[in-house]
């Protein structure tokens, strides 16, 4: 089957569009984190944004490779989610749900690609589903920590590290201000089971 005539071709365009949208929505979250002076949280989100950018880039390239001719436009039907508002905690929860949906969608795209005989693209969608599931776990954990007010406060003492100067402490809560470089708490490394 020719890729241009396949459902997979349109799925590549749908996936590309989803990645672009996710990238911007997560950038909104990163903006919110910076606004709240949670610099390390912002950097964590930014790494996910960069992952989505690269997913978009890879999908774009796959579409480009489908033809020697210029591809002017691909018509697709797709919903555009607008759930997120300017609430950092709620947006983290919604981002985890977005990722959960992406996992399901990419798994079904992989199946279709397999059926249509595009094994390499099927493998790409399978890998993307795995990555989005990792993103889902990270967003969930960030949401849970923020919801339980445990991002910088734990039940037991843990190691806290200032990402600005490298100072470390072992305590139940992260220092408000780094005693060495005066960086604020938002500069302290997050303690995550699912880092990105």
| Tally of CB atoms within 10 A around 87 | 11
Indicate the residue among 19 and 116 with the shorter CB distance to Fe ion.
19
Q: How far is the CB of 39 from Fe ion (least distance, A)?
A: 21
Q: How far apart are CA 193 and CA 177, in angstroms?
A: 24
Q: How far is the CB of 88 from Fe ion (least distance, A)?
A: 18
Indicate the residue among 90 and 184 with the shorter CB distance to Fe ion.
90
Q: Could you tell me which stretch among 11-19, 108-116, 117-125, 141-149 binds Fe ion (CB under 5 A)?
A: 11-19
| Residues in 125-154 that interact with Fe ion by CB under 5 A | 132, 135
| Long-range contacts from 106-111, C-beta under 8 angstroms, 24+ separation | 106/15, 106/132, 109/8, 109/11, 109/14, 109/15
| Residues in 25-64 that interact with Fe ion by CB under 5 A | 52, 55
- Strands (DSSP E) along the chain, which ranges? 153-161, 168-173
Indicate the residue among 58 and 173 with the shorter CB distance to Fe ion.
58
Look up tokens 């919903």; give the residue. 79
Q: Could you tell me which stretch among 16-24, 29-37, 109-117, 185-193 binds Fe ion (CB under 5 A)?
A: 16-24
Q: How far is the CB of 74 from Fe ion (least distance, A)?
A: 19
Q: What 3 state SS string does 74-113 have?
A: CCCCCCCCCCCCCCHHHHHHHHHHHHHHHHHHHHHHHHHH
Indicate the residue among 14 and 135 with the shorter CB distance to Fe ion.
135
Q: How far apart are CA 35 and CA 49, in angstroms?
A: 17
Q: Could you tell me which stretch among 13-21, 37-45, 74-82, 150-158 binds Fe ion (CB under 5 A)?
A: 13-21
Residue numbers at the binding site for Fe ion (CB under 5 A): 19, 52, 55, 132, 135
């Amino acid at each position: 089957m020719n890729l241009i005539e396949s459902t997979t071709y349109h799925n590549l365009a749908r996936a590309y569009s989803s990645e672009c949208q996710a990238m911007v929505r997560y950038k909104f979250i990163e903006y919110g984190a910076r606004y709240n002076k949670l610099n390390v949280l912002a950097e964590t989100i930014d790494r996910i944004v960069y992952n989505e950018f690269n997913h978009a880039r890879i999908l774009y390239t796959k579409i480009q490779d489908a033809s020697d001719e210029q591809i002017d436009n691909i018509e697709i039907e797709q919903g555009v989610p607008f759930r997120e508002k300017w609430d950092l905690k709620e947006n983290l929860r919604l981002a985890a749900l977005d990722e959960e949906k992406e996992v399901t969608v990419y798994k079904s795209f992989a199946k279709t690609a397999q059926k249509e005989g595009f094994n390499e693209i099927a493998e790409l969608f399978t890998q993307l589903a795995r990555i989005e599931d990792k993103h889902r776990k990270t967003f969930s954990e960030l949401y849970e920590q923020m919801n339980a007010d445990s991002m910088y406060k734990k039940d037991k003492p843990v190691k806290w590290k200032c990402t600005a100067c490298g100072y470390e402490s072992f305590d139940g809560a992260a220092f408000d201000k780094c005693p060495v470089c005066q960086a604020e708490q938002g500069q302290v490394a997050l303690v995550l089971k699912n880092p990105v």
